[in-house]
Amino acid sequence: MKTLVITGASSGIGLRTAAAFLDLGYEVVNLSRRRCPLDKVTHVNCDLSQPGFMEVIAPVMQPMLERSSEIALIHNASRLTNDSAVETPSNTLRAVLEVNVVAPNSLNYFVIPYMKPGSSILFVASTLAEKAVPGSFCYVTSKHATIGMMRALTQDLAGRGIHTAAVCPGFTDTEMLRQHVPADAMDIVRNMSAFGRLITPDEIADTLVFAARSPVLNGAVIHASLGQVER
Ligand SMILES: NC(=O)c1ccc[n+]([C@@H]2O[C@H](COP(=O)([O-])OP(=O)(O)OC[C@H]3O[C@@H](n4cnc5c(N)ncnc54)[C@H](OP(=O)(O)O)[C@@H]3O)[C@@H](O)[C@H]2O)c1
């Protein structure tokens, strides 16, 4: 049995990724606060902002992981805040890092011992993992850390047959984008892509499927942005 463990499959990219892996015959386990709307997905209710979340869900996860011949672990959930590097209190930064950086490590710590060769650890990062824009301090910082974590894993997993990669979406049509970008600014955002449109969550899901099946990508940072137009 192949298993996908994914965070944040209640909406957006995570939801479409769960659907894509179901189509391939994977058992899919979603970790988030709201349920994944797909009936076949096993929902494990969890709030990644709570430092002890892993102890709460470990007993539910363990039997599923034990019977998996191959596990794809996808760190997809994240928090996006509007804040400035000049005036953000450290508690705000700490809270974002808890969800975007510390929670993935807690999951890695728990899941890696069950991973057999052929398994993968994938991160949904962002174009903001390798560049910064004004007003996204905590997000930019955490997404850069995501790349660091992925690369460190590549080094420390060497020889175990487990590969890693980070997929960096550009502007993708999800709740997160709509909450972040006012409706009247959406046309500007569309035109920041070389194709003049938003990315669909399915396009990112397909990229994640490809990454999970491609050990040759071990350690890769994969930009999935339709080509952003730099001004
Ligand atoms: N959309 C874009 O333009 C874009 C661009 C670059 C990168 N990304 C990245 O893509 C990934 C997916 O985002 P999306 O665009 O698909 O947004 P989304 O539709 O808003 O989904 C975000 C997911 O994260 C989960 N989540 C957030 N906080 C959580 C918490 N404390 N505990 C558990 N789950 C939590 C949410 O689940 P619950 O609310 O149910 O808990 C939700 O399923 C994120 O890593 C994001 O940074 C998105």
Q: Which atom of ligand 1 is nearest to the CA of 50?
A: 31
Q: Could you give the number of structural domains in the chain? A: 1
Write down the mean pLDDT value for the chain. 97
> How far away, in angstroms, is 87 Cα from ligand 1 center?
25
**Number of Cβ atoms within 10 Å of the Cβ of 13:** 29
User: Does 209 score more than 90 pLDDT?
Assistant: yes
CB of residue 111 inside a 6 A radius of ligand 1: no
Tell me which residue has tokens 């058992």. 27
3-state SS assignment for residue 3: strand
Instruction: Look up residue 34 and give its two tokens.
Output: 């709201």
Residue 220, domain member (yes or no): yes
Percent of the chain at pLDDT > 90 equals 98
d(CA 110, CA 172): 30
Among 52, 152, 51, 58, smallest CA distance to 98 is for: 51
155: containing domain: 2-224
CATH of the domain at 10: 3.40.50.720
This prediction's pTM = 0.98
Percent of the chain at pLDDT > 70 equals 100
pLDDT tens per residue across span 134-166: 999 999 999 999 999 999 999 999 999 999 999
pLDDT the model gives residue 169: 98
pLDDT the model gives residue 230: 82
pLDDT tens per residue across span 104-115: 999 999 999 999
Q: Which residue type occupies 137?
A: F
Residue 231, domain member (yes or no): no
Pocket test for ligand 1, best of 94, 146, 174, 228 (most atoms within 8 A of CB): 174
Residue 83, domain member (yes or no): yes
d(CA 70, CA 137): 36
> How far away, in angstroms, is 17 Cα from ligand 1 center?
12
3-state SS assignment for residue 150: helix
User: Does 231 score more than 80 pLDDT?
Assistant: no
d(CA 87, CA 90): 9
Residue 170, domain member (yes or no): yes
Residue 230, domain member (yes or no): no
Residue 11, domain member (yes or no): yes
Residue 229, domain member (yes or no): no
